[in-house]
Structures are given as structure tokens and as C-alpha cells.
Structure 1
Amino acid sequence: MHRYRTHTCGALRASEIGETARLSGWCHRIRDHGGVLFIDLRDHYGLTQVVVDPDSPAFKLAETVRAEWVIRVDGRVRSRPAGTENPDLPTGQVEMYATEIEVLGPAAELPLPVFGDVEYPEETRLRYRFLDLRREKLHKNIMTRGAIIDAMRRRMKTQGFFEFQTPILTASSPEGARDFLVPSRLHPGKFYALPQAPQQYKQLIMMSGFDRYFQIAPCFRDEDPRADRLPGEFYQLDLEMSFVEQEDVFAAVEPVITGVFEEFAEGKPVTQNWPRIPYAVSMQKYGTDKPDLRNPIEMQDVSEHFRGSGFKVFARLLEDPKNRVWAIPGTGGGSRAFCDRMNSWAQGEGQPGLGYIMFRREKLSDEAMTDPTHIQSQIALRQLHPDPKNADYKHGGLDYVAGGGPVANNIGPERVEAIRLQLDLKEGDAAFFVAGNPEKFVKFAGSARTKVGEELKLVDFDRFELAWIVDFPFYEWNEDDKRVDFSHNPFSMPQGGMDALNGQDPLTIKAFQYDIACNGYEIASGGIRNHRPEAMVKAFELAGYDEETVKERFGGMYRAFQYGAPPHGGMAAGVDRIVMLLCGVTNLREISIFPMNQQAQDILMGAPNEASPKQLRELHIRTNIQEK
């Protein structure tokens, strides 16, 4: 018999009844039922119920066992008594009657329980991560992560991609975040950088004649932590292809991502025909470049209905051509209580408020009842009859859908009706408004859209909505440095090529860059690459880099472009975010095996820590810590 086990704790079935078996695992839960002890013995594979009664030679030792002790149990497999079977357990038809127990590893008092799913402070969970990882939900998430990565690899290879590993110690690159620097002992005063992404290497792989590359790549960025990005490091499904246009990349990637989501969605619907949404359209409709399309709300520009109106706040704003008024339709939100609640929420977000119109049914005024040309009468006729000219006003009804609230009172019924028709709203609905320069209010507008959709229960959370976001601007204005800067990936191809770089306002140039959005998260980003050396130099020149700087910082790529560079493109999908979505959690800590805390510290291993004087001398480094 094996020293520790003949079966795992998830293996015993009715077919083993009557056999002698040996199990090893953790004491998950211990119950005393009138002197008979029940031990739920757990290992990586499952759980088996062990029974020890006073007649067993193992009973005396079993009484001393506590939660999370590691034990070996020998015994006989038998049927559970009728009525005590557990259909939720694979081993639920049987139990083991213990005849011998050996303690392999006693456990001290637990700082957090493994049994159950009680939430504990982050510091406790991360300091005792080895205990946290024993908990069923987190353990399952980590195993799901591995299965998802296996599925990605399998599907990528099916698509004809080959896996390569690129260097970890490399040179600094302008990927948009701070590098982690590694001092060189052999080259005093010089530093390696951990890769923010394998961007240059994967392009060089295409230069080297390999056609389709991928890897599950570790990436390192010295950024402030946030819930949807791990501090310090993350993993991405990185890929690159030669002799391709944008559509070829889409055709290769879509089935991989769709297939992975379908495989792990547990029956939830997954988008089949991904929409292509231009960046500018996404910002205007959804207030973000990573829209959650489970929310059906689409914002619309209603500026013309307020221009020159009696609502002076908006009318004056619109005198500046940069300013606009956007409407957020709220189906079913036409109550005073909800509108006031949204207004209070906006004020809590640092806004002056959130204008609104409530749509409700109102009776015609006496004046309108006697004058068919009255505006209320005309609106009522249009609402009640497809062709008002042929309608019999006397039989048209006595009420109509009208707008209520301060905004409606100031702009008048005709403009209110025009807004209602544009937004396709009805009785019981509402419209909310944000105004000003869209560049400044767009983020708030997107948050308001999300808030309205969730509060009115318009969002279908039980699905995965995927979309391509395309036509990103190549450059953006860097207000801090007062200059043009890259808005996305600096190695992408500008739409229009050299002609655009030479003749267009840089801030109007679009790039062959694209993202994948899913349920409000950016889960992938990529582009068709700028593979001509003169175009590369020009693109960086517009962002403030001279030719010598380009050659110095990106010499490997620049040289490679001189010797026959194929047109190429690719992208990278965030493994952590995809796993997070498929596991149904909102924090990457729940799908990462040993994450740092929100202060970018590994409190389990004690990193970062101080280097010894000897280490610093070898690296030719002296610390100069500023007092706070």
C-alpha cells in the first residue's frame, strides 16, 4: 500500500464499497454527533466523509484532531446510511470507517477559517495566502485560471500560431507607464528594464521570418494599483502576425476569444458577431472606450433642442461651439424620487447636478381643448394619430405624454416633444442631461449612463458582450508638457501613412489601433504596425523625439526595418481580466495565486525589502531616501 494514499479524497465511489483504502488530506470540518466523530477530509481533488466511533482503534487520536490538521486515514469504504447521502458531492454515496489515523502535520490556531466563505481583511488574507488558497472558491478560481490559459494555448495553436518566449531583462520602452529598473552589476551605472510588454521583441520575431507568434507573457509596470490591474505584474496573451491587415487579425483573434468565453461561460450567452465601434462613436454613445454593452442605454447629442431655448444655463453654454448637451435616456425612470436621487448622486460626484425631464401623461389645458392649433393639441394629435392632418381632433383623446421638471418648464412643450421623439421615450420614462465640453464631461457622462442603467435594472448581467473598438486617435494633447504625445501604441501604423504624417494635423490622425471591450473592461489591445523606417522616424518626430533619439532608444527595431520588414500586426489580451470576468469576480486578487496588496507590497514574502550594504556596493548604488 502506498505510504500516504491509495485514492484521493475525491475518488471513492460506490464501486469501492467493501474495500480497504488509505486517504491523506486536511481536516476540513469535524463534527461530533453523540460521540461519533465525522471528519470531512479534503485534498486538492475533493472531499470524503470519514467516520470514527468509540469502537475504532483510531478514536482516541481522532478526538485530538482539529481543523486543518493534515492526517492519514486507513479504513473501510462503506455506503452512507439511507437518507444521509449527499448528491452535491461526487463521493456523497460513500464514507470511510476509520481504523487507523496518523497525524502528518498538526496545525496551530487558524488566523482565518478555511471552511466557509467569510470575507476577511485583505492584509490577513494575503499574509496567510497559503490558507486563503485552501478555501473552496479561491482554489477553484486558480484552477479555472489554469484551464483558461490551457484553452488559449490550444486555440492559438489551432489557428497556426507558434509559442516563443521573449527576454525578461531588456531595455526601457515608452509603453506609457513607469519601468521597473534592474541595476547591472557588470555594467556600473546602467540598468535593465523589466518589459512592460514584449512589443519590440514580437515585432523583431516577424522581422526574423517567423509568421505567427504568441506567448502567455509576463508584463511589468510600475503603476499605482487598481482593482482591474494587479500592482507590478500581469499576464497577457501576446500575439503577432506577418502579411496581415486589420481584418486578418480580427479573423484570427475573434474565434479564440469567443471560444474561450463560451467554454467557461457556464451557459451565459456570448456575443457571436462582434460589433465594430469607432472610438469617437463609443465615447459619444457610452462615455468610454470600453463600453458595457449589456447596458442598452445609448447617449445622444440633443444640443439643437437647447440652442436659443429658455433654459439659459444650457443655452449660454452652447454659445461656445466646443460645448454640447448630451442626453441619457432612462427607460422607466420617470418618477420624481428617482430623478431627485440621480441629481443627488451627481452632486456627490462633484457635479452641480443632473438636469432631467420626466415624461408622464397629462390632460390638455382648457385652452388647448378649444383650440386645435394650440401646441399641446398638436402634440397630442401627433402622439395619437400617425397622420394628424386626417385625424378627427374631437375623437383624439383628452391627454398626452408631456415633460415635467424645471428643464421642461423652461424649454417649452415643443422642444420637450422633439427630445422625446429623438430618444424614443414614452410615458414613465426620463431623460437626463450633461452639458459643457465633452472632453471634460465625458467620463462623468459614462458614469451617469452606468448608474442609470444599473439603478433601473436595465443591465443584463448574465451575459458576455464583446466588441471591437476601432479608429483610435494616433496622438493626443499632453496638457502637462504642452505637446503632442502618442495616445496609444507608438509603434502602430497611422491611417493614411506618410501622407497623413506629413500633411495632417497630428491630432486628427487616426491609427490602425483596436481594442476588445467586454462588459465594461478593456480586455485586449493591438494594432497594425508601422514597419517603414521613415514613417517610424516621422511618427516619433511629431511626438517630440528626434531621429537620433529614435535610433538610440529603438535601434534594434530601426535596424530591422532597414532589411526587409514585412507588413505585420497583432495584439495582446489581458489574461487576468479575462479570468476575472469568467470567474465572476471584480478584483484580480480573487484570481491571482500570490498577489501584492494595494500598496504594491508582497506581505507574505516581505517584498520589497532593503538590500544589504554588500549588495548595494556590488551594484554601485547608494540610496538617497528623502524624508517625508
Structure 2
Amino acid sequence: MTTKELHFNKRTHTCGELRENNIGQSVVLNGWVDTRRDLGGLIFIEVRDRYGITQVVFEPSFSEEAHNHAKELRSEFVVSIEGTVRKRPPETDNPALPTGHIDVMASKLVILNHAKTVPFPIKDKIDTSEDVRLKYRYLDLRRPSVQKNLLLRHKMYQLTRKYFDENNFVEVETPVLMKSTPEGARDYLVPSRIHKGKFYALPQSPQTYKQLLMVSGMDRYFQIVKCFRDEDLRADRQPEFTQIDVEMSFIDQEDIFQMVEGLMKIFYKEVWNSELQVPIPRYTFDEAMEKYGSDKPDLRFDLELVTLNKVFSQTAFKVFKDQIDASGIITGLLAPGCGDYTRNQLDVLTDFVKKLGAGGLIWMRVKEGGELEAPIAKFLSDEEKKNLVFEIHAKPGDLIFILSGNRIKTLNIMGMLRLEMARRLELIKSDSAPKLLWVTDFPLFEWDEETKRFYAMHHPFTSPRLEDIKLMDSHPERVKARAYDLVLNGSEIAGGSIRIHDSHLQSKMFKALGISHEEAEHKFGFLMNAFKYGAPPHGGIAFGFDRLAMIFAGENSIREVIAFPKTASAVSLMDDSPSQVDETQLKELHIKIR
């Protein structure tokens, strides 16, 4: 590159800005060559920046020097162009483009940088593997659809900050290097060079810090914050992710709901140009599980599960009788108009639920007059068949599915079958209205069969319902939490709880979780001590911002709304991380690789 090419005039307009009212003006455009067409006498290029595209014409009679220079141009060259805006000739007018009624007659061209041939076209709807896109993410980010997603994300950041600021919240940055307190997912550990053998952890959430901020008197806190989890590989998870983190003092659950619904109302209006009706629907955990087989139900379609224990309360059919005697569940799902499913289709669905852990799938075709055609029909009384058809609202031509077993496991499997049938029946349309809801009253604990102990379903600082505290020692499985999740289109987008603010109740919680006094003191002593100096009642919520942005952008993967995402296997293909490090670095950190 010559010294001459290092000098260029700064743009007067962006490549998406010029219109017919600019005709006759002298302008400067800076950007990338999107396309180039050489028609012999004329050279047409389209110059692109993140604002749009403008067509530029190089004509020998207008500027021979610029025309000769333009012969060198190729896709993705970086250019500075000076010229005059004119109205496009009728044969080149392009109403599909915001700048399509004008073009620029070039009088000067400066090539600011050359470009190699790109590994994929810089345009939307390309047939390129995601791995190639992520390896050359800096090129992928030039594509309009990806830029649009990042601009939407930026807009949602600004809306969030403005909303919480107007509601008297303070944005506080919490530490990124913190104490390791693993409970659930694994921490990412950072070795200390100065303190030999000791480690920091990257935060899975700012949970303890935001509670300490409540103790400090900072009664309304929020933060848009990076969090980290060293989780096993999952298709649509990232090792680092962004949260909108919120905490409030002197409040109850209703205050959290009201504050969150206010923010969602703004997102609906500013992003989707739609009005969110508040308050939004609420379902308890038990209601959501029994009706939809999920604690994050997708309500964009109407298929509902029906509990059939009463229908078969006196049954002689051993499979059902055993489950009722064992306090299990019998749950049914109606597939409207699917009575003509072939045996092969039914076998595929049976395999589907078996892979999820079901022993099998009972199916029944509903015939004229309410007759049921099914392998198990002979084991059911006429009264049971009649009550089944009535309870599940079946009509001739419908198909009934039934599963039985352990309550939560069986409902979860039927919930997955519900989603599969919605997919097969194409019940979720591209223009389906979004569905937002709260799920409340989660179990405080969940039992793990492998370790034979209870774990906190949310986290160990979640408050039980006050009326359930008396059950914590005797019947922990029956204790409900003052916890809540916000669900949009079948995805959990936020979760939170009212926190424990009393050190005695927190000790009781640790005991129920099998965390000894010594272990609790080692991991959380700083928080327990803070509670002894006057902790206010407090609670909060955290949004999974990546997933929230994904849904509002209409994408199917969170990687589409993150500037530099990792793959499903937590690898950055672009800069090859994680990577090996120099032996000298390891020695400084007192680490030896085994």
C-alpha cells in the first residue's frame, strides 16, 4: 500500500443513508465492495457498511482515472469513494433497496485494503456449515442478518438500563474473581500465582454478592453480567453467558412480578411492536407439570395432558393398579385427528418415549360411537372406556396416548411427547402469538437417586414457603419454594426467588441439604456472618439474556445472537481456545499437568 492510499477522506454519509433528496450532492462513502459488475464501458459496484448498500458507477467519461482504478476491485476490498449522487436510470431502479432510487457517479477511488477470496458469500441465507462460519466469525459478522441480531441485542441492553434506572435501581459491578462455592454445575477455576495452591472461581452467578449488596443497604440492584459454568456438553449452552441480574429489598414475590412484567412490556413494544397484557398468566409447578408435562410449558398450542387416576381408581388392569397403589400417575394426551396413524407411526412414537425412559406407550384409536381400538382395550371395563373418552374430550378419529409411572418422570416424558406431536401436527406457526407465563411454587428440594441426597432445585439461598418450614426436617420432599420462573414460548428466560435472610433458617436449609456446619462455614461463612448484622427481606431474579435475545430475534440458536460464541463442545474455532499454554506459565502458577 502506498502512502497515497493511506490518505482518504472520511465518509459524509453511510451506505444506507442516501435518498433522492441527496441528488446532485458531492458525497464520500467508506465501506466494503459487496458486488462488482464490469459491463465493458461501465463498472458497477455495490458498497456495503453496517447501515446498508449503495450502488456506485464508474464511467470513463465521468472520471477515467477512477474507472481504470476500479478494474482492480474485487469482493470485500475496503474502499473510499468520492462522487456525485444522481437519480438511477429507470432500467436500474431498485425499489427493494432503501437506496435503490439513486446511485453515485464516482470521481475518485481509494483502495484502503485488498482482501483474499472469502470462504463463503457475505450475504444472508448461505449454505455454509456453522463450523466454517464460526472459524471466520469476523467475516460472518459482516452479514446483515448477524449484524441485525447484534444491533437488537444492543437495543435490549439500552432498554434494560433505561428501565431499571428509571425505577431507582443502581448498576453495580460484582467481582469476576471470587471464592469457589460449587453447588450444582462446576466452577471454572483460576489459579493464583501469588497465593500458591489457591484458586479463584469465575462466577456462575453474582448470587452471594447481590445478597450482600442488600445487606449493605443498596436496596435496588441490577447488572448486565457475564457468568460462567463448566457444564457437560449440551447443544445450545455456552460456557460463558450473559444475565440481567436483579435484586430488591423489602419486597415480596408480587413486587418482583410487577417489576419484571414492566420490563417485558417494554421489550414487547419496542422489539415486536406489540402490547403485552399484564398481569401475565401464572401456573404453579404442579399445575404446569400436570397440564403440560413441563415446568417451562409452550402455550402456543392447546394440547393438554389429562390426569386419569380417578378414571382408573378401581381398575383391574394391573399396570394401572400398581401405579395407583404406588402413588404414581396415569396421564393421557389427546392427538386430535390422528386416529388413522399407522402401526409403523405408532411404533416410532413408542420408541421415542422409550428412549426418554418410559416402559412403553399405550395408544387407543377412537372409533364411531366412542369405541376404543387398542391392544389393552380388552383389559378395561366399559365404564372405564366411557369415562376415559369423556375426561379426555375424545371424538371419533382421534388418538389417545397414555403413560403411567413415577409422577414427575412420567409427566416429563408425556410433555416431550406433547411437543413432538405439536411438531408433527405443525401446531406452532411462524406467526403464532408469543406466550409468556410465570411458573411458581417449585419444590424446594429434588432427590438425586445416585447420591441418595436432596439438592436445592434452584440454589441453597432460596426461601421455603413460610407455612412449609415446619416440614423441612420431617418431609423435605413436600416443601415448596418461594421460587418462580418466567417462561416464553417454552423456554425459561428468567428465574428467581425470595431469599432466606435469617441465619437460623439458612442453617436449617444447609442441614436439609446434607451440608455440614463446617462445610457451610467454609463455603458461605462470609454470607452467614453478614446476615447476623441485619439483613433485610430480599429477593430477585436473573434473566438468561442470550436466550431472551434469541427469542426476540426469531432465531433458533443462541449462537446467532452472540458476537463470538463457542461451539456446542465449548471451543472457539476462530482463535483456537482453549489451547495449551507455555510450560513457564504453568510453573509460575505452580501447576503440573498429569
TM-score range with shorter-chain normalisation?
over 0.9
Aligned pair partner of 2:47 in 30, 41, 44: 41
Superposed CA deviations along residues 48-79 of structure 1, whole A, max 9, x for unmatched, are 01112343422222222111111111111100
Question: What TM-score comes out, normalization by structure 1 length?
Answer: 0.88
Q: Secondary structure at the match of 1:305?
A: coil
1:329 is aligned to 2:334: yes
Residue from 162, 166, 170 that aligns with 1:154 = 162
Residue in 2 that maps onto 1:391? none
- State the shift of 1:199 in Å: 0.3
One of 244, 260, 272 as aligned partner of 1:265: 272
Q: How many residues align?
A: 582
In the alignment, structure 1 residue 566 sits paired with structure 2 residue 536: yes
Matches within 5 A, 1:274-293: 274-293=280-299
Supply the AA of the counterpart residue of 2:400. Answer: A
Tell whether the 8 Å contact from 2:244 to 2:544 is kept in structure 1 after alignment. yes
Structure 2 CA distance, aligned partners of 1:161 and 1:85? 51
- Give the letter for the 1:314 counterpart: V
* Segments ≥4 residues shifted beyond 6 Å: none
1:297 match: 303
Which region of structure 1 is more displaced relative to structure 2, 154-163 or 342-351?
Answer: 342-351
Report the Cα offset of residue 209 of structure 1.
0.7
Map 1:140-539 to 2 at 5 A: 140-230=148-238, 232-267=239-274, 270=276, 272-306=278-312, 309=315, 312=317, 314-315=319-320, 317-318=322-323, 320-337=325-342, 340-349=344-353, 350=355, 353-361=360-368, 400-408=369-377, 410-411=379-380, 413-461=382-430, 462-496=432-466, 499-500=469-470, 503-539=473-509
Residue 171 of structure 1 aligns to a residue whose secondary structure is coil
Q: How does 1:132-147 map to 2 (within 5 A)?
A: 132-147=140-155
Q: Aligned partners of 2:391 and 2:46: how far apart in 1?
A: 62
| Residue 103 (structure 1) aligns with | 111
Match of 2:90, SS state, is coil
Q: Secondary structure at the residue paired with 1:598?
A: coil
- Cα distance 1:470–1:426, how it changes in 2: closer, same or farther (>3 A)? same
Report the CA distance between 1:189 and its aligned residue. 0.4
Amino acid at match of 2:32: W
CA distance in 1, matches of 2:567, 2:296: 26
Q: After TM superposition, give the deviation of residue 355 of structure 1 in Å.
A: 2.1
Contact 1:29 1:115 in 2 (8 A): no
C-alpha distance in structure 1 between counterparts of 2:478 and 2:324, whole Å: 24
Alignment RMSD, CA only? Answer: 2.2
43, 51, 59: which one pairs with 1:53? 59
Instruction: Please tell me the residue identity of whatever aligns with 1:330.
Output: A
SS in 2 for 1:589: helix
Closer, same or farther in 2 for the Cα pair 1:498/1:559, shift >3 Å? farther
TM-aligned CA distance change 1:541 to 1:16, over 3 Å? same
Q: Quote the offset at 1:334 in angstroms.
A: 2.5
C-alpha contact (below 8 Å) 1:474/1:510 kept by paired residues: yes
Q: Which residue of 2 aligns with 1:394?
A: none
| Distance across 2 between alignment mates of 1:568 and 1:555 | 19
Change (3 A) 1:188 1:503: closer
Contact 1:493 1:528 (C-alpha < 8 Å) held by counterparts = yes
Question: Are the aligned partners of 1:31 and 1:38 in contact in 2 as well (CA < 8 Å)?
Answer: yes
For 1:234, give the aligned amino acid. F
The question of whether the paired residues in 2 share the 8 Å contact of 1:271 and 1:465 is answered with no
Letter paired with 1:509: V
Deviations 1:206-246 (A, max 9, x none): 1001110001011011113434421x100111000000111
Q: Is the 8 A contact 1:49 1:96 kept in 2?
A: yes
Shift of 1:572: 0.3
The one-character-per-residue Cα deviations of 1:166-214 (angstroms, maximum 9, x if unpaired) are 1110111234210000111111100000110000000000100111000
Corresponding position of 1:621:
591
| Partner residue in 2 for 1:127 | 135
Give the Å deviation of 1:258: 2.8
CA contact (8 A) 2:43 2:57 kept: yes
**Is this contact kept in 2: 1:498–1:535, CA < 8 A?**
no
Q: CA deviation at 1:266?
A: 4.9
Say which is worse superposed, 42-51 or 254-263, in terms of deviation: 254-263
Structure 2 stretches of 5 or more lacking a match? 1-6
Displacement after TM superposition at 1:585 (Å): 1.1
Check the 8 A contact 1:494/1:500 in 2, yes or no: no
CA distance in 2, matches of 1:94, 1:201: 56
1:558-597 to 2 correspondences below 5 Å = 558-597=528-567
Show CA shifts across 1:406-463 (max 9, x none): 3445435442221121122323322211122233333321110111223223335522
Q: Name the residue aligned to 1:373.
A: none
Distance 1:32 1:412 in 2: 81
Contact kept in structure 1, 2:149 and 2:560, CA below 8 Å: yes
Deviation of 1:106 (Å)? 0.7
Deviations 1:456-513 (A, max 9, x none): 2333552221111111111121222112222212101111278426554111111111
AA aligned opposite 1:579: A
Pair 1:542–1:265, CA change in 2 (3 A): same
| Residue-by-residue CA offset, 1:94-115 (whole Å, 9 max, x unaligned) | 1011122111111101111113
Equivalent residue, structure 1, for 2:74 = 66
Report the residue type matching 1:205 in the other structure.
L
Hey, what does 1:368 align to over in structure 2? none
Question: Aligned partners of 1:74, 1:420: CA distance in 2, in Å?
Answer: 76
Once the two structures are TM-superposed, the CA of residue 547 in structure 1 deviates from its matched residue by 2.0
Alpha carbons 1:357, 1:405 under 8 Å: kept: yes
Overall identity of the aligned pairs, in %: 39
Cα deviation 1:326-375 (Å, max 9, x = unaligned): 101122323234x75244133145356532222343xxxxxxxxxxxxxx
Structure 2 contact 189–202 (Cα < 8 Å) conserved: yes
Contact 1:27 1:42 in 2 (8 A): yes
Distance in 1, matches of 2:319 and 2:169, equals: 54
Which residue of structure 1 aligns with residue 4 of structure 2? none
Consecutive unaligned residues of structure 1, counting only runs of 5 or more, are 362-399
Structure 2 CA distance for partners of 1:84 and 1:360, relative to 1, 3 Å:
farther
State the shift of 1:83 in Å: 5.0
Residues 308 and 25 of structure 1: CA distance in aligned 2, closer, same or farther (over 3 Å): same
Q: Is the 8 A contact 2:236 2:568 kept in 1?
A: no
Summarize deviations over 1:378-424 as a string: whole Å, max 9, x none.
xxxxxxxxxxxxxxxxxxxxxx3433333445435442221121122
User: SS state of the match for residue 554, structure 1?
Assistant: helix
Secondary structure of the corresponding residue to residue 318 of structure 1: helix
Question: Secondary structure of 1:468's match?
Answer: strand
Asked if 1:544 is matched to 2:530, the reply is no
